[in-house]
Structure 1
Amino acid sequence: MNTADHMPLQGVRVLDCTWATGGPYGTLLLAMLGAEVIKVESPPQVTGVSTRQMLFPAYSHEGEDAHFLTYNRNKKSIVIDLRSPEGRDVFYDLVKKSDVVFDNFRPGVMDRLGLGYETLRKVNPRVICTSLSGFGATGPDREKPAFDVIIEASSGVTSLLQGLLPEGVPPPSYPGVSWADHAGGMAAAFATVAALFGRRNTGKGRKIDIAMQDVLLSMMGYVLTGTANFEDFSDPLPSMLWGTFKTRDGHIVLCGHRDGMWRNLARALGREDWLEDTRYETISGRQKHGEELRREVEEVLAGADTAHWVSVLQDAGVPCTAVHTVKEVLGGPQAAARDMVVEVDHKGVKIKTPGNPLKISGIEERFEAPPPLGAHTEELLADLLGYPEEKIAKLREKGIVGP
């Protein structure tokens, strides 16, 4: 876990009522910044399954899969049956001593459990309740179930990807990274920090409602603006001189769409004659004749391997890269220099996991594997809430807390 002495969120306590990807990623970011994140887990007899090995049982270590090991590091674990009145009372006591309650259920679930914002603000007027869902708490789609791939399709992102593929090729069912989950989790974490900052002035908590679809629509940026205001709008970037190009042994990704980059590219490829070609004098001209220009560029690139062109173009100031595999990146010097592959000790075995993408000076980064189920139940009930041993024993006996 991160060293607390110099952490931005030192002293912030978060009750983590999340599952799947988006919510746990958001609370992981808060934990990486020093927040005390307490993962509230259900007793196995309540869920009927192990949520720690739900998605990727084939890629697990000691009962916890790669997914759980990734998103639940640097957290504490308490087991509470939130469906029972006594379990909710335990949760209310935790809320009294916490700053944030973070969930990613469908709107209404926390309310039905008796854990919605209007209830919790009466328990603790300073509490911030952050909810991340597919479509948000308002609108006709608010109650629809949603996972990342659903939101990518519902938001229009999948259709944009399909537009880049040859005609007749179906849209990808999964782009390789769960964009909606991760962007949604990051937005929810950002909003939580903003609410914590604002509370210093008001002394009051807030309700935060983040929709993954909203986040993707925001990320569309100029595509949304263009589509909403111009009937014939078509994203100009795919027809500009940038993206993936064939080489002799594979592909290179380059950017030659701006005037300075274009001139550097033409010279680096030994085709200064392009700079005199009237078709290519302006950005709009190069866009209009994009297919012809792309063919000419690829004819030159076909004369050498990707590694050669990466070296030549980088020396010329043209942004470019080879298309790396994930394994190549993980073993490369840049990821190592940025500490983006870090090890955690999970039950005696070193497990490699993603590092902290938020680089802030003065922070000493440390990482811990997810704790065993309910590892901090006793500590939190006794030390934080001050429950006597007899009360804890009765709660355990009834299956209200565990394990």
Structure 2
Amino acid sequence: MTSGPLAGIRILEIGHMLAGPYATMMLADLGADVIKIEPPSGDISRQVSDSYFASLNRGKRSICIDLTTEAGQARLGELVEESDALLANLKPSAIHRYGLTYEALRKWNEQIVCVALTGFGLAAGDDPAFDYVIQAATGVASLTGDPSGPPTLPGYSSADNSSGLTAALGLLAQIVSGSGGQVEVSLQDVMLSQLNYRASSYLNDGVEPRRLPSGAHSYYVPAQLFPTADGHLALFITHDGFWRSFAAEAGIVGFETMAERAERRDEVLGAVTEVLATDTAANWESRLRPLGVPASAVRSLPDALNALPEAIVTAGDYRLVGSPIRVAGYEPEYGPPPLLGEHGDIPARI
């Protein structure tokens, strides 16, 4: 076993709830020393539940600092002197008020990397920017759900999680550059970026995105959810080779090219729906996967976790989903989430 790839890197985190803490937890999993700076009242995610807090803050250390006081600002400066990066996930006005930008902190450490993770940008004001609001504002909600129903939202915090990963990437990129500086990541920009091919199709080809039944892909056919004799099946046919294998197993004749399947979408979907209704989702999955056809029965989260026990780790008293990053020769040591202010005396480096 080797030290984590980020061993020796110290990162300060100042923020609440999800996006920022998720970013720094991913870095802690890779060996970074993450110090969570909390106000005396604590990160408000502590008020949600202990398990919620643990899911975003395992392996960190906690120190309480009142950044509104002169003493608090002096303590922050001492920590900045001994750190490589600071990630702030607050309203822009708070980031400026507490002096959490590179311009404010460079007096303590010219090499400090400062990441501002906000809703709309560091200069964009304090409009509320919660995950669901961003999904609505950027077009994600309008693209989700059945076309005959209302727009809807994914069942998890996709904007926050995606922005956290992007912020972690930006933070590491600036550290690798060898110089300190300011990095900005906004939830709005991240979600627009994640609509990449949808946006490109509209901007370059004038194709306005629309919702399709059963979450169908805008071009690939068949690529959506289908009802079966028991449960639903996700089938994702993205090229003609997949189609030939699927069609042979399903006993469907014709529709040999993607262009033809796209042109005759309704006919293809009718034929596929009819044949998939003859067997269960679980059986179709077991029949199609050995053929290399992308297919999966739709499972609940409990079913998925039960099927993947290797994805679950122990962090103190909590069972959590482990890091998605696998580094050869390195196994993360998943520490427990910190108690509020548990690490009041932070040594120079660990």
Tell me the alpha carbon deviations over residues 86-115 of structure 1, each in whole angstroms, 9 at most, x when there is no partner. 111111111111111111112231211233
Q: Indicate the residue corresponding to 1:171 in structure 2.
A: 151
Q: Indicate the residue corresponding to 2:176 in structure 1.
A: 197
Q: Indicate the residue corresponding to 1:81 in structure 2.
A: 66
Q: CA deviation at 1:232?
A: 3.7
What is the TM-score of this pair, normalised by structure 2? Answer: 0.93
What is the TM-score of this pair, normalised by structure 1? Answer: 0.81
Q: 2:348 aligned with 1:384, yes or no?
A: yes
Q: Indicate the residue corresponding to 1:237 in structure 2.
A: 217
Q: 2:329 aligned with 1:344, yes or no?
A: no
**Counterpart Cα distance in 1 of 2:342 and 2:224:** 48
Q: 2:340 aligned with 1:373, yes or no?
A: yes
* The one of 255, 258, 263 aligned to 2:244: 263
Q: Indicate the residue corresponding to 1:51 in structure 2.
A: 44
**Counterpart Cα distance in 2 of 1:356 and 1:94:** 27
Q: Indicate the residue corresponding to 1:153 in structure 2.
A: 136
**Tell me, which stretches of 5 or more residues in structure 2 are unaligned?**
211-215
Q: 2:299 aligned with 1:324, yes or no?
A: yes
Q: CA deviation at 1:364?
A: 2.1
Residue 370 of structure 1 aligns with an amino acid whose one-letter code is P
Q: 2:93 aligned with 1:96, yes or no?
A: no
**Counterpart Cα distance in 2 of 1:153 and 1:73:** 30
Q: CA deviation at 1:311?
A: 1.5
Q: CA deviation at 1:284?
A: 1.9
Tell me the alpha carbon deviations over residues 150-194 of structure 1, each in whole angstroms, 9 at most, x when there is no partner. 1111111111114xx132x1112x311111101100000011111
* 3-state SS, counterpart of residue 308 of structure 1: helix
* 3-state SS, counterpart of residue 6 of structure 2: coil
Q: Indicate the residue corresponding to 2:290 in structure 1.
A: 315
Q: Indicate the residue corresponding to 2:272 in structure 1.
A: 297
Q: 2:7 aligned with 1:10, yes or no?
A: yes
Q: Indicate the residue corresponding to 2:185 in structure 1.
A: 210
Structure 1 consecutive aligned stretches of length 4 or more whose deviation exceeds 6 Å:
none
Q: Indicate the residue corresponding to 1:393 in structure 2.
A: none
CA contact (8 A) 2:88 2:100 kept: no
CA contact (8 A) 2:135 2:141 kept: yes
Tell me the alpha carbon deviations over residues 172-228 of structure 1, each in whole angstroms, 9 at most, x when there is no partner. 2x31111110110000001111111111xxxx3010000111111111121111111
Q: Indicate the residue corresponding to 1:68 in structure 2.
A: 53
Q: CA deviation at 1:137?
A: 2.1
Q: 2:161 aligned with 1:182, yes or no?
A: yes
**Counterpart Cα distance in 2 of 1:39 and 1:308:** 47
**Counterpart Cα distance in 1 of 2:225 and 2:70:** 58
Q: CA deviation at 1:117?
A: 1.8
Q: CA deviation at 1:343?
A: 1.4
**Counterpart Cα distance in 1 of 2:207 and 2:235:** 28
Residue 263 of structure 1 aligns with an amino acid whose one-letter code is R
* 3-state SS, counterpart of residue 316 of structure 2: strand
Residue 232 of structure 2 aligns with an amino acid whose one-letter code is H
Residue 21 of structure 1 aligns with an amino acid whose one-letter code is L
**Counterpart Cα distance in 1 of 2:92 and 2:177:** 24
**Counterpart Cα distance in 1 of 2:147 and 2:208:** 20
- Figure out how many residues of one structure are paired with residues of the other and give that number: 343
Q: CA deviation at 1:233?
A: 4.2
**Counterpart Cα distance in 2 of 1:142 and 1:262:** 50
**Counterpart Cα distance in 2 of 1:134 and 1:114:** 18
Residue 300 of structure 2 aligns with an amino acid whose one-letter code is T
* 3-state SS, counterpart of residue 218 of structure 1: helix
**Counterpart Cα distance in 1 of 2:7 and 2:174:** 16
Residue 281 of structure 2 aligns with an amino acid whose one-letter code is T
* The one of 94, 106, 115 aligned to 2:91: 106
Which of these two proteins has the greater Rg computed from alpha carbons?
1
Q: CA deviation at 1:319?
A: 1.0
**Counterpart Cα distance in 1 of 2:238 and 2:339:** 52
What's the % identity of the aligned pairs? Answer: 36
**Counterpart Cα distance in 2 of 1:242 and 1:126:** 48
**Counterpart Cα distance in 2 of 1:159 and 1:137:** 26
Residue 151 of structure 2 aligns with an amino acid whose one-letter code is P
Kindly report the root-mean-square deviation, in angstroms, between the aligned alpha carbons of the 2 structures. Answer: 1.9
* 3-state SS, counterpart of residue 92 of structure 2: coil
* The one of 215, 221, 229 aligned to 1:248: 229
Tell me the alpha carbon deviations over residues 114-147 of structure 1, each in whole angstroms, 9 at most, x when there is no partner. 3322110121100000111111124xx5431201
CA contact (8 A) 2:244 2:256 kept: no
Q: Indicate the residue corresponding to 2:32 in structure 1.
A: 35
* 3-state SS, counterpart of residue 46 of structure 2: coil
Q: CA deviation at 1:70?
A: 0.8
Residue 317 of structure 1 aligns with an amino acid whose one-letter code is G
Q: CA deviation at 1:52?
A: 4.8
- Larger mean CA deviation between 34-43 and 211-220 belongs to 211-220
Q: Indicate the residue corresponding to 2:213 in structure 1.
A: none
Residue 41 of structure 1 aligns with an amino acid whose one-letter code is E
